[in-house]
Structure 1
Amino acid sequence: MEKISVLIADDHKLIRETWSYILNNDPRFMVVAECGDSEEAVEHAKNKKPQIVLMDINIAPISGFEATEKIRKLSPGSKVIGISMHSQPAYAKKMLQIGARGYVTKNSSKDEMIEAILSVHSGNKYICDEIKNNISELVLDEKQEMPNVNALTGREIEIINLIKEGQSSKEIATLLKISLKTVEVHRHNILKKLKLKNAASLVNYINNLATSL
């Protein structure tokens, strides 16, 4: 049986090595590349055409959302599974909308990760149990609209996450390697799109998204 080729893109070396070890020791899989840089991941996908890409959405220098969009264009046969420590349905929804075929949190078990890869490789979509427990599958159906969140870009969702973690605009600028002015423009646009007044209301919106839909 031909092995399923996998590209692993995650900025944590231990996670990459663990996934590589697990998958390479399973006769059904073959890890063709692993990296901690999103632009490098795009190049690997372009050159190696992996069947599955495990993409950390918080990777740098470009977000996993942007990297996924590029991979979908450069290697349309590669099926992306978004990976994140965040279980907010908004992230899963956004990944599915830009072309990912699955979403798994880092709380997922080894067995669930393998199930996700096999399911996506077979042509299905896969959402991990943690996400399903947070919100009904109806909301994750691509035919349904998630209020307001659809208008956000991948970069804006990335900034929302950093704001939620308590990062200041200056700290966000440093982490994302963009100017302070650019961060402030993004923050203004986020609040405008979500019709919110300030960062506190933004954090509250994200925290309560799963239960408010």
Structure 2
Amino acid sequence: MSESTEEEKAAAALAVLVDQLSAASRRSRQDAAHDIESIARVSPERLTPHVGKLIEALGRPEAQTRWEVLSALSEMVQVDANAVADAFEGAESSLFDEGSATVRLAAFRFLARLGATGARMSDEAWPLLDEAVQCYHGDPEYRDMLACLLDFAHGELSEATSHALAARVGFDAENGRGYIRSFSEQIAAALAR
């Protein structure tokens, strides 16, 4: 069998999998999202033709579908940030999901990665990230949010966003304890570079 035939079969199988994100069955949607997230970790570029359907899946009622799709979209940022930028609104809604810390964290990670791709995107993402940092300070997912903020701080931020982030972590860098202080110090140091 030729290589192009194998590629065509793989592309067709992926299209069927992505279509399962809109299946009537919650379980089918969750299984599909799980498989898509696994693909994104290895080959995020394969999902670029399906970005519209991934973004649509951010409106599904079950948390698992949303967090796994957000995770896939986060991986795709590295390949084509412009292609996934339309997921911003769905990620914003997920960032303040009252029922799932995992969804909130996945949305935070996506917005931080997208925001790190350039000055304009950093200015769009920062107000949401800032609000989330204030809302979830000390919550179980907060440590992971700080890790995402550290990655964000290493990105291509605007001067205004860089200053605002430095101001946000300044108090904890000087007065915080444990991981909060450690991450805050690292973020401040990254911004000072």
TM-score (norm 2): 0.34
Larger Cα-atom Rg? 2
**Larger helix fraction of residues:** 2
Give the structure, 1 or 2, with the largest relative contact order (CA under 8 Å, sep 6 or more): 1
Q: More strand per residue: 1 or 2?
A: 1
TM-score, normalisation: structure 1: 0.32
